[in-house]
Chains A and B, each alone.
Chain A
């Protein structure tokens, strides 16, 4: 007679099932599944190999990166005065610290896990490595290494923040960014008109995102308002700014803002005018996106809120908007990525941002006429690519964390 189950020897563990295909099976299903498949593999394989070969040979062998090397400061900071560059490092360190602290507060029980960290931050790390490899002196490399160490330390410190205090950390991030900005502009001759390069691009992008988002939400609510005057005004604004190109809006902002202010007053500087143009343009697109989200909130939510006695404002703020905004995160972040890329258009109103730098350095006397456009444009494209790719990956992480599309 067999023993009771509790007294039997446990069964030996079964070896884990092999998931996925063996290499041979993978090749059979993905590359040589039919005569047409073989033909496509051969043709595309040859084409891809040729493209990769030319690209690698260009990047590592035949390109003259000297033009980027010598002008790296121009690319990063524009015509910022050299002797005040220490302010940039301090401001950058402040921003890195507060962001790392916030990352630390959100890291939960995961201590320093190299693979997870690498998967999350590899675009930024790639960017840092490329910039460090293009630097001509040791100082930028040391600075970048120091910032990386500072980030890791701040992340560890963030994990020590008590749980009750963690709700204030986003405020700390905002304070850190503003403090960094003040550190930079408080020097002599370091105002916005001297900013340029990647710094100006980041300023326009971050400022544009921060201001256009609330404005867009207000416009979307206005468009759905039951008051005809408010709705008509919102519709007119949205349709006007969605129907014209961004270049036109920037052009309008740079030329016409001065016309609309009182005759003897000083118009704001060109960077602020460009920011106003970007904000007004993006707010219209955000309004349309948020309007789609507002339409997707079930009516029952609003009715239940009213049944519970919530006023209209409270209903919108606490019930409708959270659900609406969460459902349109992909589209909204897509619009922010577009804004980041569209900061390149301020080159058409002569702002000295990253793309303009890339175009201008090829006209320097040392490099004139050598056809080095590919090098500078590829570097600028790489910087934009890192930013946009990192933002889209962060958006995917945010969506999965908030359960977009599943709830």
Chain B
């Protein structure tokens, strides 16, 4: 009997698989591999230009001859450490180690400038760990219903989700809304170079082979954040924290995260939900979580100036999204993110075929990955708490010593991704652009969001039309699409409503009113 119903994994089978996986992960070798992977992930996440996809892709050849479970444990553990590592540089240097850490810079860096870097890092460590655990718990709970969740989203929904993601730029803007939307628009324009989603032909290549592959994301991020920020530090001539007295401490950071457990839960849920949708990416997850934290916090006005809740929301969502991205990756063989795409490649290399039957034929492997993630995040959080105080000293390092080091590693990081010198030049160009944006207080994160989601929106727009035979009604006929359109309207209306409310409050508080 080969019906799907007969092949669904039963609870006892899942429990047996979990037990087998636990024996593997919690063995001495397993613990060593996971701890090593977590620390390696932390280090790689902290270097601008590396991060999850690069770290995992570089591990593939190293683990090719290893036992499959060892390879999967190492990769899952590395991925678990990358997110937190990226938050460290986001906090200390206003440079997200990975794109999904971008929103952490909003409040993490101001905290570092105020001498509270260890508090921010500790809060990040706790909320990262908690977010990851929530995300993985949700993944485990959703195991019996993985397939319908992942299959709910079609091309029209991906299109609307990408548009909603881009529209959040207007809501999250801390300076000029128009300027930040321009930045987002420029990011979207940059995605049009290279292969056209509609025809498969190349466009806007300026006659160069280099642009046929499009504008690569990692050199852009390295330039926009690492190089631009170092120009700022160079110009200031001071260390990041300047002469500010170091005032934060780890205990305050831990308390800040634990006392905001509701925020951690909601942010984790948001991050996990976004992570479930393939291809949308972590950049949107932590951005959306940051927005909801700002809108719901009684002290929302202080976001962007050093409110630790901003760090908590962003990092909880950032780590929870990995649990979400495992849903389509393992259930359908559709990578939920760039990092899980590489993980998927590793699975295939070792003879494992992700898909609906994975839970039936290799449930123990699924649990190995799950447990490795859990242990890795606990290790990473603990290491982050221990290292928070020493890491804070980075904010005291003289600019003349810090700048050349970051410059050197960033340039090599930009080169390391594809081994192309042109990526280094591109990173420098984005560095100039990023510095101008920094000086003008125009959001660089908005540009990155446009760069990430622009191609998703266009591809799925054309894909939807192909599916519907050219009928534009396909964008408004499915309930999930209509829900996303409503979300888009709400996102666009929010700044207008907020502006009107502020205007009314201002009129009411002014003497005599108008």
A-B interaction: no
Listed in ascending order, the chain A residues whose CB lies under 8 Å from chain B are none
